[in-house]
Amino acid sequence: MPGKLKVKIVAGRHLPVMDRASDLTDAFVEVKFGNTTFKTDVYPKSLNPQWNSEWFKFEVDDEDLQDEPLQITVLDHDTYSANDAIGKVYIDIDPLLYSEAATVISGWFPIYDTIHGIRGEINVVVKVDLFNDLNRFRQSSCGVKFFCTTSIPKCYRAVIIHGFVEELVVNEDPEYQWIDRIRTPRASNEARQRLISLMSGELQRKIGLKVLEMRGNAVVGYLQCFDLEGESGLVVRAIGTACTLDKLSSPAAFLPACNSPSKEMKEIPFNEDPNPNTHSSGPSTPLKNQTYSFSPSKSYSRQSSSSDTDLSLTPKTGMGSGSAGKEGGPFKALLRQQTQSALEQREFPFFTLTAFPPGFLVHVGGVVSARSVKLLDRIHNPAFVGIMGNTRSYKLLDWNSFNSDEPETRDAWWAEIRQEIKSHAKALGCHAVVGYSESTSICEEVCILSASGTAAVLNPRFLQDGTVEGCLEQRLEENLPAGCGFCHIPYDELNMPFPAHLTYCYNCRKQKVPDVLFTTIDLPTDATVIGKGCLIQARLCRLKKKAQAEANATAISNLLPFMEYEVHTQLMNKLKLKGMNALFGLRIQITVGENMLMGLASATGVYLAALPTPGGIQIAGKTPNDGSYEQHISHMQKKINDTIAKNKELYEINPPEISEEIIGSPIPEPRQRSRLLRSQSESSDEVTELDLSHGKKDAFVLEIDDTDAMEDVHSLLTDVPPPSGFYSCNTEIMPGINNWTSEIQMFTSVRVIRLSSLNLTNHALNKNFNDLCENLLKSLYFKLRSMIPCCLCHVNFTVSLPEDELIQVTVTAVAITFDKNQALQTTKAHVEKSLQRASTDNEELLQFPLELCSDSLPSHPFPPAKEHLESASSNSGIPAAQRAVTVEKTSPMGEGNFRNRSAAPCANSTVGVVKMTPLSFIPGAKITKYLGIINMFFIRETTSLREEGGVSGFLHAFIAEVFAMVRAHVAALGGNAVVSYIMKQCVFMENPNKNQAQCLINVSGDAVVFARESELEVVSTQQPAANCQPACTGGEVTT
Amino acid sequence: MTSELDIFVGNTTLIDEDVYRLWLDGYSVGDAVALRVRSGILEQTGATAAVLQSDTMDHYRTFHMLERLLHAPPKLLHQLIYQIPPSRQALLIERYYAFDEAFVREVLGKKLSKGTKKDLDDISTKTGITLKSCRRQFDNFKRVFKVVEEMRGSLVDNVQQHFLLSDRLARDYAAIVFFANNRFETGKKKLQYLSFGDFAFCAELMIQNWTLGAVGEAPTDPDSQVDDMDMDLDKEFLQDLKELKVLVADKDLLDLHKSLVCTALRGKLGVFSEMEANFKNLSRGLVNVATKLTHNKDVRDLFVDLVEKFVEPCRSDHWPLSDVRLFLNQYSASVHSLDGFRHQALWDRYMGTLRGCLLRLYHD
């Protein structure tokens, strides 16, 4: 069934001068959708053309509506030679296809050229008339809503959470086609941008179909990534969680969050059980080492050396749908989905969500992860050179064979990994995996696929088909105590999958808990936390020999277990050093380069009240007879103890009953000690049996047997805490801070360092990497110092190794200010309230299990800071979306807008503010509408790198342009913010000798409309105060 | 380990006022870092020099990218690339167009041409302002001049509309443009004691009273209005000023004028005898300035003449400012009682402005 797409080109502004002679431009516009193209008239001799075109109408299938982007090209008319392109705008019209999202796209879009960047702006109006489609065999999935947010979106409630959906599509990469030899870089870049846009649309449509099959109406936690596999192609893959969502319409749902006290702020005293003794008498410690169940090394080598034939034998476990869309007709696809959808869902009970409706999460087992090293296909044939002048050679592929088997291969690879994840989860006694994510790292023809998540037991009532075993019902009948239920072990105590140290829960004293808990999810709403959390990172480099193909893959496979082990050790050490006992939001990234592997793990450490107090760290020397050595050791020991004590103070970790004991004796009695073997010469065959439990709870011993170990201890101590007034975490919100004010600053920071190639050792490498990350953090703290007190939330580090000696670190995060004073006043009230709240929640839960009001999710911890909010909102002058839009419309050109001399000139700005944040919420505000997903891909290239300010100038300008284009799209949708924003890829390549550089950026997020809480309360009375902005103040003549 | 690339991009563009000032003042990144270190920022924040270096580089890069937009401030408001709150935009613009007193005194009244630009080296050495900063300030003057040069209507309004400056700064620019256009001499040694503020004050009075736009005969007859409204002095008015000659050429009129003033001021003026002795000289000076204004050369020397013919004689007799005011008021007003003098309106238009200027110019 067709839909009708209508486009109107209104005007342009700030166009570049295209005709040197007249210093003007004769601009016209081409509007293209699918294979249809319309043109406007030429608007002669103007840099601010007013086309005011008719409505261009495209009659198209809704399948095309979903796949194709609207392509708008601005050109300069030239009578005698070819018309010059000024730039393009790609508009994803997907948001217009949902009933509840945007109804019109209208606004100023930056005109973008891959060589010159943004060149002026164009005003466009886009509408879609969609006819209802009742065809069951349809290929489109219009109406399925997509959310990047990894929790139930704020103005919806989850009726059913169906489960995992995935899809991938493969294509040739235009940059590696033979035609690339003869076309311009611009044409090549545009071909790539367009292709990725098309593939994203197709992928989203296919996922949508799967959701419809599952009878869902939305995908939450939608994560789409692309793999640039070089000559073997371009893979776009996506995962998400299918849900059935209901829009909350009752006004009660929009009450300011202050009415629902934040729950993570509970500092519940241990009232119920004053008996403190279990601390020392528990059985030996478990640490969820199984969480770190990497694939056995045997399996690595098998996979890495596997050829195509080998892989094609791998059973497809029902995941082979990626290929079907292309070859199979609608009927076939339907059949396949009907037979497999139910099975599939059981096959992979994964959830990309990281925060859940209350009661959804029953128990958490621990982190499960799997990695596998794969060789990308390589066919040995004549070569050509890529545009960046790499010396690498590429070949012509037989695209026919390529297209037919590529998706199956990739699907099979991922299916394998998912199977492994699933079995790990089973081993932990869990039937589901939450906070699930997948990633790749590619270097030449080697690719590391990684998946990780948190094994969990879920409440089956929220799942449609009750895939859960009956025994779980029993557990659910128990009245789970609030704030600790999820910590209780899901596995059988007598039949533990790994050695673990269990104690009775410090909160309820009824169930067993481990001594340390690692997870990939956000801190559950009802968790009881003591003190504040902090960002904990483990950083690691390992040199590897340069090698080709299989040898290379084998080398990587052999290194991986060691990396995982050491990353884990570092995390554990740092966690103990902070005096904390649980990690949330854990993300371990392993990056492969030509001659090294990098590991970076980030997580947010917290002290969970339910888990036992962590023991200290004990250092043991190997040569006890040497006096000075002993002295040195004891000196270090003292330093460590001091650091722990200091951290406890810094993060306000004062567990109520046993605090004295902790501070008094960080090191317990010697009899509890056990040695940890950390020698690297350990036989690698034993890797699978690695005991990551690090011995007993109170006896965490670091044995210093070589200089490496010494350095490790040193590096532990060199991690500087953030300056006072600063906190940082990589989760949505900071445990222990609940009084956010409305000022937010999202940023991206990129650093690339060049290693001196001589005599690189693992040790030097580690130090360089560590310094890089630490300096980057320090720089951030310095830059944002004006926001103190503030917290860096959702700190997301990405490491890549673009070349031999280059390390690139990209950080995206948001700084949010909070009110220090208010925290003190409200803490007490919160504790009491939350106690009550917890119990009522439980009752409600049992009665109305399906009433999952997303409103009580963790993201509304804002007490009523009214004065603050009001002043802040008027300061920043954030207009409601509608206002921003109307302002734009009424003053199209802005000329003559500045007539009024007495008014401050700058108050006339017509550009509405668009906030961007990686979080799922806006502090101090309510999200009132989701407008659709933003998923954009840009390429920028330059052949005049020096002139553009070198690599820094080039990338700085590009990232600023990307932000601008995201904001413009959101504003055109009628939105005023992007939430769950993420920069998924930032691939930067340079060739300074040739004065060239190229960068690819992929970003996504959810466009939303938000309203300040203060505005919501006094909707009508608050008039735009923009006109009475104080006049410019700095008018003095400098002396 | 060397840093190849190091950037920070915020959704809201971060502007550090201190670094902006250093950038505007034309310091290199290295110098700016050194100055920041000296300000004690490292101790306050616990940052390292490397952090400071990176931060400074980042800000400099941002400013460099913003500079293109600052050349046409309305663009800064409408552009989409940098999200900057309005108050910050205003600050950026205002500071960018701010200038140094020492610098403006050097170029005030000079032609804003390439020739003058070449002299910036000397000005930089003389004033201690970095060459870079001198260039920016000079280019600002020139840019504003170019844009408003051909425009009709109020000079201040034009400047404000196209450069979004505060009222105060727009007035200053109007003065600079006015001076540059009329090429008033301000650099002579005897004018050195005058500040930019003094000149700007005079410029404003002259724009209000002595230009075409001042008379209010505004664009009623657009064809005849070849000249700019506020930029150029009213040629007709200057021509008419010749008529004032009679005040000093006619001896009876001069004597009558003197006796009127003396009678009115007797006993009220501390320097009465000096005034009485000097009256004819002063009056001749003031009237002769008026009658000469038809020549461009004399227009340029207006301020030199005023100081030579009036300010200096009074100053050498130690007139207090209050006495100067009393005298000028009486001197202007008494003309109305001269029956034989027919150009009262012309006199008021001339003397009203001149009186204001002289009072402002009269100081040490």
A78: how many CB neighbours lie within 10 A of its CB?
Answer: 12
Q: How far is CA A729 from CA A423, A573, A814, in A?
A: 30, 18, 10
Q: Do B86 and A875 touch (CB under 8 A)?
A: no
Q: Provide, as residue numbers in chain B, all residues whose Cβ is less than 8 Å from the Cβ of A876.
A: 85
**What are A919's two structure tokens?**
């979080």
Measured between CB atoms, does A664 come within 8 Å of chain B? no
Q: Can you tell me the distance from the alpha carbon of A658 to that of A51, in angstroms, rounded to the nearest whole number?
A: 74
Q: Can you tell me the distance from the alpha carbon of B16 to that of A786, in angstroms, rounded to the nearest whole number?
A: 9
- Contact (Cβ atoms closer than 8 angstroms) between residue A804 and residue A740: no
Of B4, B11, B50, the CB nearest to A745: B11
For residue A980, report the phi and psi dihedrals to the nearest 5 degrees.
Answer: 50, 35
| DSSP 8-state symbol, B309 | I
The alpha carbon of residue A915 is apart from the nearest alpha carbon of chain B, in Å, by 7
- Residue A396 pLDDT: 35
Q: Can you tell me the distance from the alpha carbon of A741 to that of A864, in angstroms, rounded to the nearest whole number?
A: 10
Strand intervals (E) in A131-217: 145-146, 156-171
As a whole-number percent, the residues of chain B with pLDDT over 70 amount to 95
Place of tokens 């601009």: A27
**What are A324's two structure tokens?**
């079907």
Closest chain A residue by Cα to residue B129: A1039
3-state secondary structure at position A36: strand
Of A753, A778, A961, the CB nearest to B2: A753
In terms of DSSP H, where are the helices of A392-465?
399-427
For residue A510, report the phi and psi dihedrals to the nearest 5 degrees.
Answer: -110, -40
Q: Can you tell me the distance from the alpha carbon of A170 to that of B156, in angstroms, rounded to the nearest whole number?
A: 62
- Residue A1016 pLDDT: 60
**Helix B131-149 / helix B86-97 crossing angle, nearest 10 deg:** 100
Q: Could you tell me which of A716, A640, A703, A664 has the C-alpha nearest to residue A279?
A: A664
Q: Do B161 and A1033 touch (CB under 8 A)?
A: no
Q: For every residue of A763-809, which 3-state class applies, written as one string? A: HHHHHHHHHHHHHHHHHHHHHCHHHCCEEEEEEEEEEECCCCCEEEE
Place of tokens 């884990």: A568
Q: Do B4 and A961 touch (CB under 8 A)?
A: no
Q: Can you tell me the distance from the alpha carbon of A984 to that of A1004, in angstroms, rounded to the nearest whole number?
A: 7
Residue A593 identity: G
Measured between CB atoms, does B33 come within 8 Å of chain A? no
Closest chain B residue by Cα to residue A780: B8
- Contact (Cβ atoms closer than 8 angstroms) between residue A931 and residue A937: no
Question: How do the residues of chain B divide into helix, strand and coil, expressed in percent and rounded to 5?
Answer: 70, 5, 25
B25: how many CB neighbours lie within 10 A of its CB?
Answer: 17
Of A756, A955, A1031, the CB nearest to B5: A955
Q: Which residues pair with A89 in a beta bridge?
A: A72
Q: Provide, as residue numbers in chain B, all residues whose Cβ is less than 8 Å from the Cβ of A1035.
A: 94, 165-169
Q: Do A906 and B8 touch (CB under 8 A)?
A: no
Over residues B271-301, the pLDDT tens digits come to 888 888 888 899 999 999 998 888 888 889 9
Q: How far is CA A83 from CA A69, A79, A953, in A?
A: 23, 8, 30
**Helix B17-24 / helix B29-38 crossing angle, nearest 10 deg:** 130
Q: Provide, as residue numbers in chain A, all residues whose Cβ is less than 8 Å from the Cβ of B1.
A: 753-756, 768, 771-772
Residue A117 identity: G
Model pTM above 0.90 = no
Q: Could you tell me which of A640, A632, A703, A631 has the C-alpha nearest to residue A666?
A: A640
Closest chain A residue by Cα to residue B79: A911
Q: Which helix (H) or strand (E) holds B239?
A: helix B235-240
Displacement of CA B287 from its chain's centroid (Å): 25
Radius of gyration (Cα) for chain A, nearest Å? 29
- Residue A693 pLDDT: 43
The alpha carbon of residue B225 is apart from the nearest alpha carbon of chain A, in Å, by 22
Q: Can you tell me the distance from the alpha carbon of A716 to that of A710, in angstroms, rounded to the nearest whole number?
A: 10
Measured between CB atoms, does B197 come within 8 Å of chain A? yes
Strand intervals (E) in chain B: 2-10
Strand intervals (E) in A444-496: 446-458
The alpha carbon of residue A186 is apart from the nearest alpha carbon of chain B, in Å, by 21
CA atoms within 13 A on the CB side of A106: 20
Upstream peptide bond of A251 is cis (omega within 30 degrees of 0): no
In sequence order, which residues have a C-beta less than 8 Å from that of residue B303 and are 6 or more positions away? B184, B185, B186, B191, B194, B199, B202, B361
Of B52, B81, B86, the CB nearest to A1029: B86
Nearest 10 degrees: CA dihedral of A179, A180, A186, A187?
A: 20
Q: Do B86 and A785 touch (CB under 8 A)?
A: no
Q: Which helix (H) or strand (E) holds A617?
A: strand A617-621
Q: Do B51 and A13 touch (CB under 8 A)?
A: no
Count of A-B CB contacts under 8 Å:
217
**What are B65's two structure tokens?**
């990218």
A618: how many CB neighbours lie within 10 A of its CB?
Answer: 21
Q: Which residues pair with A281 in a beta bridge?
A: none
* B 214-243: CB under 8 A from A: none
**What are A778's two structure tokens?**
């320090």
Of A751, A785, A988, the CB nearest to B45: A785
The alpha carbon of residue B20 is apart from the nearest alpha carbon of chain A, in Å, by 13
Closest chain A residue by Cα to residue B84: A913
- Contact (Cβ atoms closer than 8 angstroms) between residue A30 and residue A39: yes
Q: Do A916 and B7 touch (CB under 8 A)?
A: no
**What are B307's two structure tokens?**
């100081």
Q: Could you tell me which of A449, A728, A487, A676 has the C-alpha nearest to residue A570?
A: A676
Q: Provide, as residue numbers in chain A, all residues whose Cβ is less than 8 Å from the Cβ of B51.
A: 775, 778-779, 782
Q: Can you tell me the distance from the alpha carbon of A55 to that of A43, in angstroms, rounded to the nearest whole number?
A: 17
Of B81, B104, B196, the CB nearest to A118: B81
Of A806, A913, A1037, the CB nearest to B99: A1037
Of A749, A909, A961, the CB nearest to B86: A909
- Residue A128 pLDDT: 86
**What are B362's two structure tokens?**
């009269």
Measured between CB atoms, does A551 come within 8 Å of chain B? no
Q: Could you tell me which of A708, A716, A681, A802 has the C-alpha nearest to residue A764?
A: A708
Place of tokens 């002058």: A877
What is the block-wise mean pLDDT of chain A (1039 residues), using blocks of 10 residues? 85 89 89 92 92 92 82 89 88 81 86 93 90 57 84 86 88 76 84 89 89 88 89 87 81 38 36 34 32 33 32 32 35 40 59 86 87 71 32 34 56 89 86 91 89 86 49 42 73 65 78 86 85 90 84 88 88 88 92 90 90 78 66 81 84 65 37 31 32 43 62 70 86 83 92 80 86 91 90 93 89 90 47 40 36 37 38 38 36 36 41 89 89 92 89 94 95 93 91 89 94 64 40 37
Measured between CB atoms, does B348 come within 8 Å of chain A? no
Q: Can you tell me the distance from the alpha carbon of A92 to that of A146, in angstroms, rounded to the nearest whole number?
A: 13
Radius of gyration (Cα) for chain B, nearest Å? 25
- Which of B2, B3, B4 has the most A C-beta neighbours within 10 Å, making it the best mutation to test the interface with A? B4
Strand intervals (E) in A78-144: 84-91, 105-113, 117-130
Q: Can you tell me the distance from the alpha carbon of B219 to that of A710, in angstroms, rounded to the nearest whole number?
A: 86
CA atoms within 13 A on the CB side of A900: 12
**What are B31's two structure tokens?**
């110098």
Nearest 10 degrees: CA dihedral of A326, A328, A330, A336?
A: -110
Over residues B330-358, the pLDDT tens digits come to 999 888 888 878 888 889 999 999 999 99
* B 149-178: CB under 8 A from A: 156-157, 160-161, 164-169, 172
| DSSP 8-state symbol, A95 | G
The alpha carbon of residue A203 is apart from the nearest alpha carbon of chain B, in Å, by 29
Q: Do A905 and B160 touch (CB under 8 A)?
A: yes
Of A754, A964, A1033, the CB nearest to B81: A964
- Contact (Cβ atoms closer than 8 angstroms) between residue A33 and residue A71: yes
A636: how many CB neighbours lie within 10 A of its CB?
Answer: 20
Q: Which comes out higher in pLDDT, residue B120 or A399?
A: B120
